[in-house]
Amino acid sequence: MASIANVASPEQIAKYEPVIGLEVHVQLSTRTKIFCGCPTAFGAPPNTNVCPVCLGLPGALPVLNRLAVEMAIKAGLALRCRVNTTSRFARKNYFYPDLPKGYQISQYELPVAEQGWVEVEGKRIGITRVHMEDDAGKSMHEGFRDSDQYTYVDLNRTGTPLIEIVTEPDLRTSGEAFAFLTELKQALQYIGVSACDMEKGQLRCDANVSVRLKGAETFGTKAEVKNLNSFRFVKMAIDHEIARQVAVLESGGRIEQESRLYNPDLDETFGMRSKEHAHDYRYFPEPDLVPLRIGDEWMARIQAEMVELPAGRRARFIRDYGLREYDAQVLTATRDLSDFFEAAAKASGDPRAAANWVMGDLAAALKEAGQNIADSPVTPERLGELIALIGKGEVTGKLAKDVFPKMFATGDAPRDIMEREGLKAMSDSGALEKIVDEIVAANPKQVEQYKGGKTTVLAFFVGQAMKATRGQADPQAVGEILKSRMAR
């Protein structure tokens, strides 16, 4: 490997424009595998979720999982692709211990969907293709015996349905790549085709990176950083790769087209093998599967099942509920969260207040309890009810902050809690005036200070009144009464 300084200076990097294209593998959330009935469940004992088909035993024939096809098509639609009414499976031949068939069943010339785009930070990132394929198994390098290291193969994963999403080389920064992946993950989660849980290997990314002098017309030679399993690592690996390539070029070297691996501990990429070419795989049409045809009726049914995508929802929240861009972004992060917010907003009659409660008190309570929004003990309807009560003046904002944790602890409706605990906004102005009068009488020194121009003591009086009413008084009303009393 090149022994030249392997990271360029910021000045050197500034002379170049990075070009990035991503290849993303996503596990479809079917219950069973793509070509057999074995479960896709995570965490089973090694080699228990297997059968002759996914073990690649001679004579076993694949049967395509209908649901996997529908999910792949939905992904294509979400990425604004053209869905091919006929697509074809192909064998991609290579040898690896965790690939018992000796080939991967993938799609090559005719993928299920192609030519789409995703909008990221106001810019369209082209989607080259979406194709279906089966996953390989897992090699585990562990265990020592007589100082020999053993490698074990777990074939539970073989035959897990995947889609591969390939982008055009349209990304220009690691930040754009990160934003693209975030958008992609959200969209796939919304439409229910993948949980995209990276810790379970459900989303893996290869980053293709090249650099060219700013203003140059042609792309530079790319290197592909393979198998990145977190968005943060994708970003770090791309940044490192840009700096490495610039350093090579600046010292008169050439970029090799190759696959590299990223080591996050060292923040370095290293060469893995020279990039294989398509002919190395000897792709040929899969003889055990007929071409996949998607008729109009089937297509229409799949289309009817599509739900609103996060980008559309974000725009709608800003338009219909007057949310700020940032809040809309936060509240559409997951479909569960955006569903919750929308139901609460509708029930409350005050969407911006609903946004504040969901992102504030509710988010904090869920975090502390280690719970997801989907199992929030406070339903969106009840949160909306609480907000509506504040709006009607039946509960003060301060009191609501006390009622909410009780709703969270019990799941009860705000009215029930207020009744049970004797918590009610003090709307009886006579009673409130009496309390204020008592406080004024009991604190002559502070009254003098106020009259002498030290208006900040008003806060002291309001505090006393809130204490005396256990937070049930409307602080604003208290302030008004105080001012009128002390003006005399």
Kindly tell me which of 6 and 257 has the beta carbon lying closer to ligand ADP: 257
Kindly tell me which of 167 and 464 has the beta carbon lying closer to ligand ADP: 167
Q: How far apart are CA 14 and CA 288, in angstroms?
A: 52
Q: Which residues contact 192 (CB under 8 A, 6 or more apart)?
A: 29, 71, 74, 307
Q: Does 19 bind ligand ADP (CB under 6 A)?
A: yes
**CA within 13 Å, CB half, 182:** 15
Site string for Zn ion, 26-45 (x = CB under 5 A): ----------x-x-------
Cβ proximity of 226 and 272 under 8 Å: yes
Kindly tell me which of 162 and 228 has the beta carbon lying closer to Zn ion: 162
Binding span for ligand ADP by CB under 6 A among 17-25, 91-99, 104-112, 228-236:
17-25
Kindly tell me which of 22 and 457 has the beta carbon lying closer to ligand ADP: 22
Q: Does 186 bind ligand ADP (CB under 6 A)?
A: no
Q: Does 23 bind ligand ADP (CB under 6 A)?
A: yes
Q: Does 169 bind ligand ADP (CB under 6 A)?
A: yes
Q: Does 223 bind ligand ADP (CB under 6 A)?
A: no
The distance of closest approach from Cβ of residue 159 to Zn ion in the complex, given in angstroms and rounded to an integer, is 5
73 token code pair: 């098509």
Q: Does 51 bind Zn ion (CB under 5 A)?
A: yes
Kindly tell me which of 20 and 399 has the beta carbon lying closer to ligand ADP: 20
The distance of closest approach from Cβ of residue 43 to Zn ion in the complex, given in angstroms and rounded to an integer, is 17
> Closest CB to ligand ADP belongs to which residue?
21
Q: Which of 22, 28, 127, 482 binds ligand ADP (CB under 6 A)?
A: 22
The distance of closest approach from Cβ of residue 273 to ligand ADP in the complex, given in angstroms and rounded to an integer, is 13
Site string for Zn ion, 54-73 (x = CB under 5 A): x-------------------
Count residues contacting ligand ADP (CB under 6 A)?
A: 15
Q: Does 245 bind ligand ADP (CB under 6 A)?
A: no
287 token code pair: 């003889």
List Cα–Cα distances, 165 to 27, 84, 181, 214, 225, in angstroms: 11, 15, 11, 28, 16
Q: How far apart are CA 194 and CA 187, in angstroms?
A: 9
Question: Given the rule CB under 5 A, which residues bind Zn ion?
Answer: 36, 38, 51, 53-54
Question: Given the rule CB under 6 A, which residues bind ligand ADP?
Answer: 19-23, 166-169, 208-210, 219, 222, 275
